[in-house]
Amino acid sequence: MDIPLTIKDAAAALRAKELTSVELTTALLDRIKTLNPTLGAFITVTEETALAEAAAADAKFAAGEDLGPLQGIPYAAKDIIVTKDAPTTANGVILDPAWGEGWDATVIERLRAAGAVLMGKLVLNEFAIGMPDPAKKFPMPQNPWDLERSGSGSSSGTGIAIAGGLILGGLGTDTGGSTRGPSSWNGVSGIKQTFGRVPKYGCVPLGYSLDHINPMARSAWDCAAMLNIIAGYDPKDPTTVDVPVPDYTSTLNGSVEGLRIGVPMEYFFDAPGLDPETKAAVLAGIDALKGAGAIVTEVTIPHAREAKDANQVIMYSESFAYHKLDLAARFDDYGKYTSEVLTRGLFLTAGDLVQAHRFRSYFKKAVAKVMEDLDVLIMPTSIGPAPKRADMSPSQQLRSAGFTPHWNLTGLPAMAIPCGFSTGEKPLPLSMQIVGKPFAEQTVFQVADGYQRLTDWHLRVPKVEVAAAV
């Protein structure tokens, strides 16, 4: 069968009785069995649960019960989010196997209630930090556009599974770019919504004041439909905010007429190492939006370089606080890259953390001032397309420019969407990032959806070279 590319198309096909959820789920399970040994996206496949939830969704359709566009739609969750029918490992052996047994994270509860079909748990960077360690027992994530390339992190499995056509949507997390990075390098869409918009109850923390659980899918519309379900106040999570949740899909009509876009050229477009093709693709995307009626203005974000550093100081401090006792008792049980990155927090002082939070307060106000007369900012998501894994190291990542941590520091909504491909024998996805005002995800989606109606980058599908059986 032809598997629909998007949640929106699959939802329409289910309601037109062109396919059933069981048929869709079975086709994707078959695809997982074929491709996952090569792509390394799934840690656990919950086949029995998926088929049961798909059958339940079909039964509701047959009875005239429609729970919304996620009913019958197969998705998967980053294996840092608790699910009652599969273990939660955080891609490591440190976490107590009994942690999370028999219950669901709030976001999973909400997706089940909406009739979505859980396909399993996805690979990530161990505890959402560091890099994959080949010496550990977990699958090695591989970019479906070029198997030698990184799938980014930490929500690598989610980005890979969507790009590779193993699921229609998925959950990632984001502390400094861990949803937007994999969206960028795998050529899919992913949003880090406003801090406090989505509850994190049932998710292993990395940085308490920076973490987000996020939707990832092929299109902005698909991400909006997922955010409709998982957003909203939760008394079990003290960081959530009791702010009404709009229907994010209701205003997606393709129009960007009159929307005001700020383009921060300094740092975001002139950073050392910025790939020229990425820069050109993002600027071409901005021109396309301008041609569709958006108003474009060049702006400056003050101290953007320092903002990345402040985010890292907070992230390393908070992650070290969470892992301190386990690092002391079980250091060698962590992957080599994970322990290397986590112990950076050991070299930071209370004064460093205080200063980072002081800067954070300043930077949030400075960005708000810049955005007073704007609707969104647009800049690259990543410094370039996916590099070869052999060329990557934690120290190299620390030194390079980054365009995503700023928006964890401020808590603003930020979305990555595909905007082109590199040249070369194996073209790789390029991505642009759309940043909005607090709780203005609707506007971010409106810009992203408007752009995706002008282009088809988000609908490009890699041809995966299946590894030969050993």
* CA–CA dist 83, 78 (Å, integer): 10
| Of the candidates 307, 76, 282, 74, the residue with the CA atom closest to the CA atom of residue 177 | 307
CB 385 within 8 A of CB 275: yes
The set of residues, in sequence order, having a beta carbon less than 8 Å from that of 150 and lying 6+ positions away, is 143, 156, 185, 386, 387, 388, 389, 392
The DSSP secondary-structure symbol of 458 reads G
Catalytic residue selected from 8, 78, 192, 200: 78
**SS (HEC) of 425-443:** CCCCEEEEEEEECCCCHHH
Taking the CA atoms of residue 283, residue 285, residue 289 and residue 290 in that order, the dihedral angle to the nearest 10 degrees is 30
Alpha carbons within 13 A on the beta-carbon side of 80 = 33
| Of the candidates 162, 198, 183, the residue with the CA atom closest to the CA atom of residue 461 | 162
**DSSP class per residue in 355-421:** HHHHHHHHHHHHHHHHTTT-SEEEEESSSSSPPBGGG--HHHHHHS--SSHHHHHH---EEEEEEEE
Catalytic residue selected from 21, 150, 152, 154: 154
The set of residues, in sequence order, having a beta carbon less than 8 Å from that of 88 and lying 6+ positions away, is 79, 80, 81, 82, 95, 99, 100, 121, 204
Q: Is 75 helix (H, G, I), strand (E, B) or coil?
A: strand
CB 346 within 8 A of CB 320: yes
Active site residue 339: no
If one counts every other C-beta atom within 10 angstroms of the C-beta of residue 384, the result is 19
Q: Is 42 helix (H, G, I), strand (E, B) or coil?
A: strand
* CA–CA dist 447, 457 (Å, integer): 15
- From residue 428, alpha-carbon distances to 229, 246, 284, 285 in Å are 32, 35, 17, 17
SS3 content of the chain, % helix, strand, coil (to 5): 40, 15, 45
Q: Is 189 helix (H, G, I), strand (E, B) or coil?
A: strand
Active site residue 178: yes
Catalytic residue selected from 21, 152, 155, 178: 178
- The label of the residue with tokens 């869709």 reads 24
Backbone phi, then psi, for 401, in 5-degree steps?
-65, 150
- The label of the residue with tokens 């899919």 reads 188
Active site residues: 78, 154, 178
